[in-house]
Amino acid sequence: MRRETLLNAALMLLLLAVPLWAHVTDEPFTITLATRAVIFAIAGVGLNVALGLGGLVSLGHALFFGVGGYAMGILAFHAQTYAPLIDWPVTIDGTKSMPIIWLVAIVTSAIAALGIGALSLRTTGVYFIMITLAFAQMFYFFTISWPAYGGEDGLSIYVRNGFPGLNTMDPIQFFALCYGLLLLVLFIVWRIARSPFGLMLGAARQSQARAQALGQVPYRLYLTAFVVSGAITGLAGALFADLNRFVSPTMFSWQTSGEIMVFVILGGVGRVFGPVAGAALFIVLEHSLGGLSEFWHIYLGAILLGVVLFARGGLYGLLAGRERAHD
């Protein structure tokens, strides 16, 4: 078997084994940490579609993470207060059903990505980074000043939303749900990366002139990637909100955007499973170094610097070598 396949399998097994072990030894906090890693991994896999496959350096993916989070927050808030979301022309009630919340999170963040991408992708390079950052900051300050849904204090949801046939309040069952979604998202992105669209998107990343000479408009390819990317990160946001049973404007903050990008860079830009490794490493560091010092981000910074300077391919580049070009 190829080294990368082995690494993928080992990574996914480890990510499954740790919470199972914690379940057996009755350590729910470890399960929560693993669930956090899985949700961050989904967010990173989403960003990787734009950043890795499309070469679009978005520093605004917190926006989609936050939109997903607030999709959950707002729907669940209306359900728990029994106040309909909309009264007119038809009554739409809130919901505590995860599948519906996920769908709403995916659709709203995809729509947000379509609008923001359509504007942002007219710029390139540092301007693109800045404009995506600016959009996320706009949402951040908007939610802070929006009293209907908690403003700066955020929204607390008292009971985790439900999924048919599962007890989502049981940590291991909620973990299993998130893990299943991660597998699904990985499968989708893996297929996209190898699809006609993925091949052409990669070509546009490497040479816009090439894509044009082949009759393609790079803008359309980028925008499609950006929408897929935003939708996946939005799903992660809804899960993250459900994990904490809390949403706040912090989800929109530029630190969140930075962290999602750190998952991708630590793991390996453009590698399908890279963000999973990156997010897992991030959680391990956050937990172990966070115990040493409140300022653990200093160490994270040093490690990130090391990766950028000496291991461009991230963990995957280090452990699995260069990506196989095609099979």
Partner 1 sequence: MTDLVLDIRGVCKSFGALQASQDIDLTVNRGEIHALIGPNGAGKSTLIQQIAGGLRPDAGRIIFDGRDVTGLSTAARARLGMGRTFQISSLAMEYTVLQNAVLGALGARGDVFRFFRPVMRDADLLATARAALTTVGLDGFEALRTSELSHGQRRQLEVAVALTLSPRVFLMDEPMAGLGAEGSRRLMELLNGLRAQAPILLIEHDMDAVFALADRISVLVYGQIIATGTVDEIRANRDVRTAYLGEEEDA
Query: What are the structure tokens assigned to 287, written together?
Result: 């937990």
Region of 1-9, 67-75, 241-249, 319-327 interacting with partner 1 (CB under 8 A): 319-327
Query: Is 124 a binder of partner 1 (CB under 8 A)?
Result: no
Decide: is 166 part of the binding site for partner 1 (CB under 8 A): no
Asked if 255 is part of the footprint of partner 1 (rule: CB under 8 A), the reply reads: no
Q: What tokens were used for 30? A: 């470890």
Q: How far is CA 305 from CA 259, 299, 301, 309, 325, in A?
A: 14, 10, 6, 6, 27
Residue among 252, 264, 262 nearest 134 (CA): 252
Place of tokens 């998130």: 178
Whole-number Cα distances in Å, 111 to 37, 115, 192, 226, 296: 26, 6, 20, 11, 36
How near is the Cβ of 118 to partner 1 at its closest, in Å? 17
Instruction: Tell me if 114 contacts partner 1 by CB under 8 A.
Output: no
Closer to partner 1 at the Cβ: 2 or 210? 210
Task: Choose which of 89, 164, 165, 196 interacts with partner 1 (CB under 8 A).
Answer: 196
Structure tokens given for 216: 């393609």
Question: Interaction with partner 1 in 19-78: which residues (CB under 8 A)?
Answer: none
Contact between 194 and partner 1 by CB under 8 A: the answer reads yes
CB of 196 to partner 1, least distance (A): 4
Query: In the range 197-236, which residues lie near partner 1 by CB under 8 A?
Result: 197-200, 202-203, 206-207, 209-217, 221, 224
Task: Collapse the DSSP code of 93 into the 3-class scheme (helix H, G, I; strand E, B; otherwise coil) and give the result.
Answer: coil
Instruction: By CB under 8 A, tell whether 84 contacts partner 1.
Output: no
| Structure token pair of residue 289 | 């170094």
Rounded distance between C-alpha atoms, residue 71 and residue 68, angstroms: 5
Q: Which is nearer to partner 1, 145 or 207 (CB)?
A: 207
191 binds partner 1 (CB under 8 A): yes
Give the pairing type, strands 155-156 and 246-247: antiparallel
Count of H-run helices and E-run strands, the chain: 13, 2
Binding status of residue 5 toward partner 1 by CB under 8 A: no
Q: Under the rule (CB under 8 A), what is the footprint of partner 1?
A: 191-192, 194-200, 202-203, 206-207, 209-217, 221, 224, 325-327
